[in-house]
Amino acid sequence: MQRRKWLIFLFASLLLIGMFLSGCQSGKNGKRETVWRQSGGWPKPPLFQGNNFANGGVGAAYPFVFEGLFQNVRFTDKQYFRLAESLEHQGNKTIVKIKSGVKWNDGEPFTSKDVWAYYTLNNGAEVTKYLESIEAVDDLTIAFNWRDPSPAEHMKQLFIGQDGHGTIPYHLYHKYVDKAAELLKKAKPFTEPNKEGPFGLEIKDEVREAMDENWRDFLKAGPDFPVGTGPFIVKKVTASDMLLEKNPNYWNVENIHFDKITIKNPGPDPSAGFALVRSGNVDWFDGTPPRDIIESILKLNKDIAHYKMLDPASVGMVFNLDRPPFDNKDFRKAIVYALDRKKIREIGNYYGQESDVSMAGMPQSEFDNWITPEIRDQMEKFTHNPEKAAEILTNLGWTKGSNGIWRDPEGKVHEFIIGVNGGWQNGPIPGQVAAEQLTEFGLPTKLIAVDGTVYFDNAAKDKGKYDMSMDWVDVSWGFMFPWNSMRNYYWWGLGQMGHLPRYESGEKQNRLNLHLPGPDGKVIDIDQMLRDIPYMNSVEEQKEALSKLAWITNENAMGMVLFQNVTGAWANLKTVTGWPRVDEIEKYNRDMPVTTVPEDLQQVADLNQGFSGITPFVEGRYAPK
C-alpha cells in the first residue's frame, strides 16, 4: 500500500512538472496561466538589485522590464516606437511626444521628467555630446536642443534611439538627479574647438569628483527589484531562477500573450543551455553552436527550429603597429595572405562568412550598402595565398632556412604572440588555429589566453604584450551605420590594442594622429573625417567618406577579419506561435539558413533579444499554443 501511494505521489508530481515545462500553470483562481521559458544570467543574490546601472545590471530581465523612447534593431537599424508617440525635427530642435498613460510598474506615471532625469544623471550617454540641453516642455513633450552645428537628421534619430530612457525613474532617484543637475550648472562651456562633453560642458576638478561621488551613491540606491515601464515585473530572483509576471499597467498589455516569464540560469557551461533546448524545456534560446551540435539537437527534438542570422561583428585580430615587424604594412599583408580563413571559419563558426579584405572597418555584410562600386573594385582582394605571402617576405629581405623557418633581414628568428581573452568563447579556438597555421608557414607563433580582467590592459599601449590581439573586429555595437564600427577601431578599444598613434600634447592631445593616402592618393586626416561624418546631411556624401576609410583600412592591413560571425535563435514550434518564415521550415528541415530577403531578415533579426529587445512580444507576434 505504501509503495502504491508513493507511485501515485510520484506520478502526480511528474504531471505537475510536465505542466510547468509545457508552459502552462494554474493560477490562483484555477485560470490557466501561460508561461514563456528561456535561459539567461544575472548577478546572483544578494548582489542582485533593481538598479540597471549597478555592476552586472539586472541581467536577463532587462528587455522585459525596461524600454526606451524607441527600440533600435541593431542589425537593420529599424526603429520601433516604444514610449514615444512621435518624433519631429525642427531645425536644431527635435521634439518627441511621449505616449499618454504610460506608467512605471510601481504605478507612478512616466513623464518627460523621467527622460530629462535619464540624461541629467546619465550624462555620459553619447547623444549629450551633441546637445545644448534637454528640456521637459510639458509632461508628455521632451525637446532635444542640438548644439550648432547639429548632426544630420538621420544621425539624430540613431543617437536618440539607442538609449534606454525608461531606466531612471525620477520619483525614485530624484535626490541624485537633482544633485547632478546642480553640478552641471557649475560646469563651464568649452572654449576650445573640437572639445566634447555633455551639453558642451567641460566637467573637471571638484565638479567631476562630486559628480563621480554622486554617481557611486546612485549605484548603491537601487530598489530590490527593477522598476521599469516594460511588459513584465520581476517577482522573484534566486541563483538559478528568475520569475517575472505580466505588468497589468503596460501601455500595450493587450498584445502581451504570456502571463509569466521563467528564466533559467544554466551557468557558465554553454552545453547546459543547449541541453535545455534539446529537451524542449525552453521556448527560445540564443546562440549557434558548432554544426554537429545543431544537427544533433534538430535530430533529437523534432519540435525545435534554428534560425541563423548574420551578426554585425567579425572574429579577428588587430596588429600591434608599434612592434616590428608589424610596423611594416607589407609584412602585415603577408600575414593576411598566409592564413587559411576557410579552415579557421569551419572550426570557429562553420556558418560564418569569410572575407576577401584584411579588415575594412565595417562588417562585410555592409559593403554593398556603404562602399561605392568604384572603390570596392580598387580594394586589394586578400585570399589564402601562401606563395604571395612568401613573395612579399622575400621582397622585404626575409629568408627561409632549411628548417622552414623565416628569418628577418638581420637573420633573426621571431616568435610571435597572439593574445586572446580566455573567457571569450568565440576567440581561443580560431586563435589557436591561426597560430598553428603561421607556425606551419614558417613564422613561429603561439597563442596566449589570459583572463579578461588583464587581457585588454596587456594589449593596450602602455604594455603592448602581443603582436596580434584578438577581439570582435569590424563590429558595429549599438546601431549599424558603419561610422559606428569605424570609430570602434580608430577611436576606441580596438585602436588602443592596435597602438594607433595619438597626439601627445597640444589642443589635439589624445586625439588620433593618423594621416594616410586614400584611393585617389590624397592624404586623409582620419580623425577629422570621422568627426565630420555625423554632420554630413547627404547619405551619399557619408557613403563616399566611409568608402575611403574602408579602402585605407584594408590597404594598410590594420588587422585581419577571420570570419563574420553568424549567430542564431532556437524556437520551440510546439509551445509558441509567431515564428518567422513558417512556410519554409519543412523545406529546410528546421535548420533555417541566413536570409537576404529584407522582410524576412527583419523578422529574423527581431528574434534576437540582443538585437531588438523583446520586439515580438510588444508587437503581439508571440503567443502560446
Segment 574-589, tens digit of pLDDT: 999 999 999 999 999 9
The 10s digit of each residue's pLDDT in 226-254 is 999 999 999 999 999 999 999 999 999 99
Per-residue pLDDT band for 61 (boundaries 50, 70, 90) equals: very high
Per-residue pLDDT band for 27 (boundaries 50, 70, 90) equals: low
CA triple 444-450-456, angle to 5 deg = 100
The 10s digit of each residue's pLDDT in 30-48 is 568 999 999 999 999 999 9
Separation between Cα atoms, residue 287 and residue 564, nearest integer Å = 15
Average pLDDT value for the chain: 93
Separation between Cα atoms, residue 55 and residue 166, nearest integer Å = 18
Query: Residue 57 half-sphere exposure, CB side, CA atoms within 13 Å?
Result: 12
* Model pLDDT, residue 2: 42
Q: Is the dihedral of CA 8, 11, 14, 20 positive or negative?
A: negative
Contact 75, 478 (CB under 8 A): no
Q: Kindly tell me if the per-residue pLDDT of 139 is higher than 90.
A: yes
Q: Is the dihedral of CA 607, 611, 617, 619 positive or negative?
A: negative
Per-residue pLDDT band for 26 (boundaries 50, 70, 90) equals: low
* Model pLDDT, residue 464: 92
Written as one letter, the residue type at 220 is K
With H, G, I as helix, E, B as strand and everything else as coil, classify residue 506.
Answer: coil
* Model pLDDT, residue 587: 97
For residue 368, give the DSSP letter: H
| Buried-exposed string 338-369: b where 16+ CB fall within 10 A, e elsewhere | bbbbeebbbebbebbbbbebbbbbbbbbbbee
Task: From 610, 85, 621, 589, select the one nearest 302 (Cα to Cα).
Answer: 589
The 10s digit of each residue's pLDDT in 96-131 is 999 999 999 999 999 999 999 999 999 999 999 999
Non-local (6+) Cβ contacts of 267 within 8 A are none
The 10s digit of each residue's pLDDT in 141-194 is 999 999 999 999 999 999 999 999 999 999 999 999 999 999 999 999 987 766
Length of the chain, please? 625
* Model pLDDT, residue 6: 40
Is residue 263 left, alpha or beta, with left meaning phi > 0 and alpha meaning psi from -120 to 50?
beta
Separation between Cα atoms, residue 74 and residue 310, nearest integer Å = 11
pTM reported for the whole predicted model: 0.91
Per-residue pLDDT band for 28 (boundaries 50, 70, 90) equals: low
> Average pLDDT in the 341-367 region?
96
Phi/psi for 103 (5° steps) reads -130, 150
> Average pLDDT in the 578-605 region?
95
The 10s digit of each residue's pLDDT in 190-232 is 877 667 899 999 998 899 999 999 999 999 998 999 999 999 9
Question: What single string gives the DSSP state of each residue in 305-355?
Answer: EEEEEEEEEEEEEEE-TTSTTTTSHHHHHHHHHHS-HHHHHHHH-TT-B--
Non-local (6+) Cβ contacts of 304 within 8 A are 277, 278, 280, 297, 298, 570, 571, 572, 573, 590
Query: Within 10 Å of residue 603's Cβ, how many Cβ atoms?
Result: 19
Label each residue of 180-246 as H, E or C. HHHHHHHCEECCCCCCCCHHHEECCHHHHHHHHHHHHHHHCCCCCCCCCCCCEEEEEECCCEEEEEE
> Average pLDDT in the 474-487 region?
93
Separation between Cα atoms, residue 394 and residue 411, nearest integer Å = 13
Is residue 55 left, alpha or beta, with left meaning phi > 0 and alpha meaning psi from -120 to 50?
beta
Phi/psi for 514 (5° steps) reads -140, 115
Q: Kindly tell me if the per-residue pLDDT of 486 is higher than 90.
A: yes
Beta bridge partners of 572: 304
Contact 134, 119 (CB under 8 A): yes
